[in-house]
Amino acid sequence: MSFFRKREEKNVLHIDHLNPMMKRAIKTLIDSGVPEVARLYGFRYLIPRLGEPMFVPLGRLDDDFKDVFEAFNRILEEVNEVKFRGMETYRLWYPTAEEIEHFRFTFYSIVSQEGGMKVGIGANPLASLDQDLFKLGGVEEYVVNKKVLILTPALVGQAVNSQSVLSKAKNVNLLDIVSERRGEIIESFLWLNKSFHDKYDKDRDYDVELSRMYMQRLFDVISKIASGKLVKSPSEYETVLLPLFIFPKRRIVGNVSVMEAWNFNEEFAEMLRQARFHDVEVTPVIYNYEVINELVDNYAPRAENLVILTDQKSPLLERLDFLSWTKGYKVIKDGEFTKILQPAK
């Protein structure tokens, strides 16, 4: 926080009353948190349960700025002023969460103690949880004191959480099929966001360079946290974990580019035609069945157990006909969210 800036603030009730660079920065950042990228790595932005613990009134952002990056730095200054108290509240709500200094920004308004309205932005912290989309609690016996290989980075968040079952493993390595497509993912979201603003935002307030920088920052933050866990050539392991996202059949695609999937898969193309931009996703493209099949074929046969975790109740394996390797394994346990397999002799 600059010592030369006064702490007084006006009660700004609409983003249109801010400096154009700040207005542009806020609208850009709100689109740039890309929670789906966090999900690809097993992280999430914590959702407030009551109020907004990290709230910055628009009046704190009312100043002159030469460009969106200067405005962005002001936003971070203001978030730094409230983040420590805000983190304390989030820890009460999410006792197993480990917060990370990266935020998703949202619009938020409150009624002040004086009875007036305050309008501003909320900052929701990125975090890892002990378990999240995938039910790790049910596979403890296959993880504790075992050398574990995870075939995708969908459990990085849990692998770095000190209260997770994975923290009890002898060793945990993850293969990263996401970072190799990092540039493609970012450029695809930039295209999606810009398309939305060009068509439906009368001011077209979206700064591609600021958005690119903030998306890249998310990848950089995760890469730093996961350093040492992500590997390219795993050697020894006893248990293989496969976090498997279950998609509707109409969203299942092969190993194609994101833009090809969005424009030519009937489901995604229809979303774009109907302007359902927030329903468009990259997860089925990055975690496509061809890549999953190849990973299982390359690594699972050498393991004692292949543990499949699904993000929702899944049918019997034989009904997932896009998985080409299932006949090579015998099912030891077949649960709604967890399946334990061993190579067929």
* Residue carrying structure tokens 């990973």: 295
To the nearest whole percent, how much of the chain has pLDDT over 70?
96
Where does the pLDDT of residue 114 fall: very low under 50, low under 70, confident under 90, or very high at 90 and above? low
What is the model's pLDDT at position 2? 46
What is the model's pLDDT at position 111? 78
What is the model's pLDDT at position 113? 67
Dihedral of the CA atoms 51, 131, 38, 47 (nearest 10)? -10
Please tell me the distance from the alpha carbon of residue 79 to that of residue 57, in angstroms, as a whole number: 11
**Of 110, 2, 115, nearest in space to 57 by CA:** 110
Mean pLDDT, the chain, whole residue set: 93
Could you tell me the pTM of the whole model? 0.94
The number of angstroms, rounded, from the C-alpha of 136 to the middle of its chain's C-alpha atoms is 18
51 CB burial (10 A radius; 0-12, 13-18, 19+): exposed
3-state secondary structure of 243: strand
| In the predicted structure, residue 200 carries a pLDDT above the cut 80 | yes
Where does the pLDDT of residue 214 fall: very low under 50, low under 70, confident under 90, or very high at 90 and above? very high
What is the model's pLDDT at position 115? 65
3-state secondary structure of 136: helix
- Average pLDDT of the segment spanning 4-16: 71
Where does the pLDDT of residue 233 fall: very low under 50, low under 70, confident under 90, or very high at 90 and above? confident
**Of 137, 339, 155, 143, nearest in space to 243 by CA:** 155
* Residue carrying structure tokens 């009937």: 266
Which amino acid is residue 156, in one-letter code? Answer: V
What is the model's pLDDT at position 14? 84
- Average pLDDT of the segment spanning 238-256: 95
What is the model's pLDDT at position 203? 87
| In the predicted structure, residue 117 carries a pLDDT above the cut 70 | yes
